[in-house]
Structures are given as structure tokens and as C-alpha cells.
Amino acid sequence: MRSPEDLLRERGIRPTELRKEVLRILFGEGRPLSWKDTFTRFTGKRVNKVSLYRTLSLLEEKGLVHKVLGTDGAWHYCAHLPEGNRCPGNHPHFLCLACGRMICLEDQPLPTVQVPEGCVVEGKQLLAYGRCPSCS
């Protein structure tokens, strides 16, 4: 897998320490993390909350992460790398209602959705929820 610095440069993004660390966290976790969960992974480092949020937004805009809306109303960010089996985008997720853990499910075709004439679909999201094995 390419380094976070290489991935950022390939997308025309200056590889700051914060941007590289956010990618390391999301790639290492292997599941979607909320903004708050991402923030708590910065142990021992001082991180500005606004800078972190802007970094996540930039990484999404450039296609390195995508976000999934949880039933809690919070966005969860997931590494977006088709090679290396990291969250390739349009695939379902599972959210445990007890512990809040969000899990990427295997890539599979998502249901076809009929939209009004003239609308353009730019992505789909399916979220299944219930209890994970640890909580059931």
C-alpha cells in the first residue's frame, strides 16, 4: 500500500502532518470512524478540532475518504482505497446500536433506486443496523 504522503501528493494535496496522521488512523482502523472517534485517536498530540474537521472534508473532496451517515446523525469517515480492500465506497455498512461501532460490509451490488426524472445519482449508501456479536 502506498504511504499517506504519496496518496496525498497524487491527489495534489500538500502532505501536512495532520493529513498524513488522519489517513494513518483511518487506514489502520479499517472501519468508519466518527469525527469524535478520529479526534480521540490523537493521543499525546495537540490537534485543533476545526483543522481536523477541515482535513476530513478535504480528504473526502479529493476521494481519499468517504462519509457514511450513522443513525446517530453523525458522519463517519472511512478510508477510500479500492486496492488493498479498504472501503471502496458504494458498499453497505453495519451499525451496532448498542456500542456504536460501524463496520464495512463486503462489497456487493446495492439496490436500484428509482429517482425522479432529471435527477442525477452521484452515490448510494445502505446502512444496516442492529447489534454486533459482542453486544448481542
pLDDT tens-place string over residues 32-42: 888 888 999 98
Average pLDDT over residues 56-69: 88
Residue 86 belongs to a domain: yes
135 annotated ligand binder: yes
Share of the chain above pLDDT 90, in %: 29
How many Cβ atoms are within 10 Å of 72's Cβ, its own excluded?
12
Domain assignment of residue 87, yes or no: yes
Contact 65, 56 (CB under 8 A): yes
| Cell representation of residue 93 | 455498512
Predicted confidence at residue 73, as pLDDT, reads 82
Is 104 known as a binding-site position? no
78 is in an annotated binding site: no
Residue 70 domain-assigned (yes or no): yes
pLDDT value at position 46? 83
Q: Is residue 95 part of a domain?
A: yes
Q: Tell whether 135 is covered by a domain.
A: no
For residue 90, the model assigns a pLDDT of 65
Which CATH number belongs to the domain containing residue 110 in this structure?
1.10.10.10
Note the pTM of the prediction, 2 decimals: 0.75
Q: Which domain holds residue 113?
A: 4-130
Answer yes or no: is 96 a known binding residue.
yes
The total number of structural domains in the chain stands at: 1
pLDDT digits (tens, 9 = 90+) for 69-117: 887 788 889 886 655 544 555 678 888 888 878 887 877 777 788 899 9
% of the chain residues with pLDDT over 70: 91
Kindly state whether residue 114 falls inside one of the protein's structural domains. Answer: yes
In a domain, 136, yes or no: no
Q: Read off φ and ψ for residue 107, nearest 5 degrees.
A: -60, 135
